[in-house]
Amino acid sequence: MAHKAAQWPSEETLLLWKREQARLKARMVDRDTEAWQRDPTFSGLQRVGGVDVSFVNGDSDRACASLVVLSYPELKVVYEDSHMVHLKAPYVSGFLAFREVPFLVELVQRLQEKEPGFMPQVLLVDGNGVLHQRGFGVACHLGVLTDLPCVGVAKKLLQVDGLENNSLHKEKIMLLQAGGDTFPLMGNSGTVLGMALKSHEHSTNPLYVSVGHRVSLEVAVRLTHHCCRFRIPEPIRQADIRSRDYIRRTLGHPGSPAQRQERSQKEQRPKVCPKDGPGAPADQGRPPEDYGRDSSTDLKDPQPGFQEQQKDQQLERTEHHEDSDLPPPPTWVQSPP
DNA sequence: GCGACAG
DNA sequence: ATCTTGTCGC
């Protein structure tokens, strides 16, 4: 009995969600607040985090949430925490945070409690920041709730405030030459909501970078670019790779009975090396029901459009084997600062 | 009915 | 987000 699939939120729920976004938005800071952000070389920046949530096949509510921390500028993984979760809210464009953010916050809290020395100085988030229907995407949401500097990095343009992925936009993309090239995403309001970034020399489709929290757009873009070994910034890419890997190791392949060894949620190994697995503290057993917001399901159809995206991904596949392998990993590879 | 739709 | 093999290119 899989937990029932979430249903489409009621209008009332959507109203509450919008109100929550407006409330939290008042706390968002859209400028640089850290010393390293002012430095041309980001001197002082040592840890960059990345978060992602990967899903289980057809299950609309089972997923693996991952938080990784990479050293900067080496971009080596120094901390990892992957964790199976039960999603309670459906995906609704404009409300991604209500689906994923509770689990991302939990990952940050676990890090704060167990290895505060590994707390990232900035977090790259898979999704938008202020480039959003109401100027408060998941990167802003996570940033405000954790008070960590956050950058929104989306792979597709969210068409809001007059922004359109039309022929004009595609022309601008074609004009991007070298990795690091950008063009501003100006909404009808005249505000620059974000930047399209050619993140890699051989990358066709740009990334859409926007401010999440406690960072300027300029720094957000420069940092994102400096984190790209491939099209997707390494912190997000590693979080994605490891969360997907965790699912494959834990659930095995759907069609093979040999992999029936399903570890239930107890098996979640937090991180640090002490061979003595601390197991689950005691927090994930009973989530407060008054999550307030939840419900409903929804799935999107893939659109038969561009085939270029796969080109970039293939480029990554051909070379990512250098670090994609991780046995039952000891989470971090460096000594605490 | 048609188009849009971060992850 | 997820489903998947081969294929082309350096």
Ordered per-residue pLDDT tens for chain A, 337 residues: 545 557 889 999 999 999 999 999 999 999 999 999 999 999 999 999 999 999 988 787 899 999 999 999 999 999 999 999 999 999 999 999 999 999 999 999 999 999 999 999 999 999 999 999 999 999 999 999 999 999 999 999 999 999 999 989 999 999 999 999 999 999 998 999 999 999 998 889 999 999 999 999 999 999 999 999 999 999 999 999 999 999 988 876 554 443 444 444 444 554 543 222 232 232 322 223 232 332 222 222 222 222 333 334 433 443 433 333 333 333 333 334 3
Distance CA A327 to C1' B6 in A = 31
Strand C within 7 A of A311 CB: no
Q: According to the model, what pLDDT value does residue A43 have? A: 98
Domain ranges of chain A: 23-251+298-322
Backbone angles phi, psi at A243, to 5 degrees: -70, -40
Cα–Cα nearest to A39, from A197, A223, A234: A223
Nucleotide nearest to A95 (CA to C1'): B6
Q: Which helix (H) or strand (E) holds A85?
A: strand A77-86
- Walk across the sheet containing A192-197 and list its strands: A77-86, A62-71, A47-55, A122-126, A150-154, A207-213, A192-197, A182-186
Give Cα A157 distance to the centre of its chain.
Answer: 16
Residues A264 and A75: their CA atoms lie apart, in Å, by 32
Cα–Cα nearest to A203, from A300, A287, A308, A305: A308
For residue A257, count other CB atoms closer than 10 A to its CB.
7
| Sequential DSSP letters for A89-119 | S---TT-HHHHHHHHHHHHHHHHHHH-GGG-
Contact A252, A235 (CB under 8 A): no
The CA–CA distances, whole Å, from A297 to A5, A92, A97, A104 equal 6, 9, 15, 20
Distance CA A337 to C1' B7 in A = 33
Q: According to the model, what pLDDT value does residue A319 have? A: 40
CATH architecture of A23-251+298-322: 2-Layer Sandwich (3.30)
**Structure token digits, residue A7:** 């249903």
Strand C within 7 A of A55 CB: yes
- Chain C footprint bases within 7 A of protein beta carbons: 1-3, 5-9
Residues A224 and A288: their CA atoms lie apart, in Å, by 35
